[in-house]
């Protein structure tokens, strides 16, 4: 089962990397970019039936630092996502 | 006087020898070197030191991988028993990732790696790490980091300030740290994390090119605490 974990800096946490990329986009002449925030995509290949709680625990213990980051978990198929979401 | 200090080496640590050397210079006792893959610490330790460097190549987040290593379970257990723990630079990052200290270290606000000697203000001089400093005193200690921008939410910052857990503050603009925090103590005062490198500032005053000597008193504080406790 493919799982995608999106890790993002929480709102309000300074993202100097995103700011630098924002400036670089402006320097390349791209107008209208209001903000840039850089996160991390982690793709996991886990055993079928791995429950949402286990993936959430992976995120909380290692994949994200919840002091500064939030995470969302995406699994193949909406049903799995919704079911797991109720558990998580 | 027996003084048993352990210095943990992770893959990618690069200040472990400096830390051991500083501990030996100040205490006159050899520091015990411990590898990250060890499950147990030596018994009867007076201090555990987590050195600077780039453990695990800063994979995922600085300090995140090291915080999961076998020895860190033993370090957390020792800290829970009250064994003093000092984390410098990457060691500070590891301590926040292991949740022994509040907050996190973000990329420097200016994006650049900062490597220079900075002025710090000694804020809490009651702890076992800082008793040899005078409150409000300005000291000069080198920093060398890319991820030293201390962050915690406002409630946490208010709490640690209210409880006097800020050990050192930058006295000059450095890396964008919240409230200029350079070093933080745990609630019981027995774990200290700091970005500046006291182990690089222990040489005699006559050799200022070697980083000065303002870091020496940090190690002397620990020793003094041990002999008077």
| Confidence at residue A9, expressed as pLDDT on a 0 to 100 scale | 96
* Tokens found for residue A28: 């390349």
Contact A17 B61 (CB under 8 A): no
Residues of B in contact with A20 (CB under 8 A): 111
ipTM of the complex: 0.84
Residues of B in contact with A62 (CB under 8 A): 60, 64, 68
In 10 A of CB B194, how many CB atoms? 29
- A44 beta partners: A3
Residues of B in contact with A68 (CB under 8 A): 104, 106, 151
Residues of B serving a catalytic function are 89, 197, 199
Closest CB to B64 among A17, A20, A62: A62
Percent over 90 (pLDDT), chain B? 91
- Mean pLDDT (whole number) for B184-207: 91
Instruction: Compute the distance between CA of residue A30 and CA of residue A32 in angstroms, rounded to an integer.
Output: 7
| Confidence at residue B205, expressed as pLDDT on a 0 to 100 scale | 64
* Tokens found for residue B73: 């379970």
pLDDT at A83 over 60: no
- Mean pLDDT (whole number) for B20-36: 95
Closest CB to A68 among B60, B106, B176: B106
Cβ contacts of B94 within 8 Å, gap of 6 or more: B10, B50, B55, B63, B66, B67, B72, B87
The residue with tokens 């799982």 is A3
Give, in order, the Cα–Cα distances in Å from B122 to each of A51, B65, B164, B182, B217.
Answer: 49, 31, 11, 10, 12
Mean pLDDT estimate for chain B: 94
- Mean pLDDT (whole number) for A2-11: 96
Contact of B177 with B150, CB cutoff 8 Å: yes
* Tokens found for residue B189: 């005062």
**DSSP H helix total and E strand total for chain A:** 3, 3
| Confidence at residue A81, expressed as pLDDT on a 0 to 100 scale | 37
Instruction: Compute the distance between CA of residue B47 and CA of residue B115 in angstroms, rounded to an integer.
Output: 27
Tens digit of each residue's pLDDT (9 = 90 or more) over A16-62 = 899 999 999 999 999 999 999 999 999 999 999 999 999 999 999 99
| Confidence at residue A76, expressed as pLDDT on a 0 to 100 scale | 78
- Under the banding of pLDDT at 50, 70 and 90, the label for residue B210 is low
Which among B111, B120, B99 is positioned nearest to B194, based on CA atoms?
A: B120
Tens digit of each residue's pLDDT (9 = 90 or more) over B137-150 = 999 999 999 999 99
State whether residue A17 sits within 8 Å of chain B by CB. Answer: yes
pLDDT at B117 over 80: yes
SS3 A52: helix
């Amino acid at each position: 089962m493919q799982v995608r974990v999106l890790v993002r800096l929480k709102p309000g946490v300074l993202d100097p990397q995103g700011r630098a990329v924002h400036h670089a986009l402006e320097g390349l002449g791209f107008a209208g970019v209001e903000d840039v925030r850089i996160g991390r995509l982690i793709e996991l290949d886990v055993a079928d039936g791995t429950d949402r709680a286990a993936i959430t625990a992976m995120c909380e213990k290692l994949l994200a630092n919840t002091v500064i980051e939030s995470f969302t978990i995406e699994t193949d198929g909406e049903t799995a996502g919704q079911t797991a979401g109720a558990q998580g | 006087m027996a003084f048993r200090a352990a210095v943990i080496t992770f893959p990618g640590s690069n200040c472990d020898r400096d830390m051991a050397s500083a501990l030996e210079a100040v205490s006159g006792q050899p520091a015990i070197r411990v590898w990250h893959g060890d499950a147990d610490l030596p018994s009867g330790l007076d201090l555990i030191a987590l050195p600077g460097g780039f453990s695990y190549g800063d994979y995922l987040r600085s300090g995140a991988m090291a915080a999961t290593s076998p020895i860190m379970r033993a370090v957390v257990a020792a800290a829970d028993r009250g064994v003093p723990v000092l984390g410098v630079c990457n060691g500070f990052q590891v301590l926040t990732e292991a949740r022994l200290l509040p907050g996190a270290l973000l990329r420097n606000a200016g994006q650049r790696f900062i490597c220079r000697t900075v002025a710090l203000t000694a804020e809490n001089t009651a702890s076992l790490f800082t008793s040899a400093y005078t409150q409000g005193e300005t000291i000069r200690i080198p920093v060398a980091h890319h991820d030293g921008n201390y962050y915690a939410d406002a409630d946490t910052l208010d709490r640690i300030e209210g409880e006097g857990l800020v050990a050192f503050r930058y006295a000059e603009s450095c890396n964008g740290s919240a409230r200029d925090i350079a070093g933080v103590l745990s609630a019981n005062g027995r774990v200290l994390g700091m970005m500046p490198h006291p182990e690089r500032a222990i040489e005699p005053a006559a050799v200022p090119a070697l980083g000065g000597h303002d870091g020496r008193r940090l190690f002397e504080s620990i020793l003094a605490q041990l002999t008077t406790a």
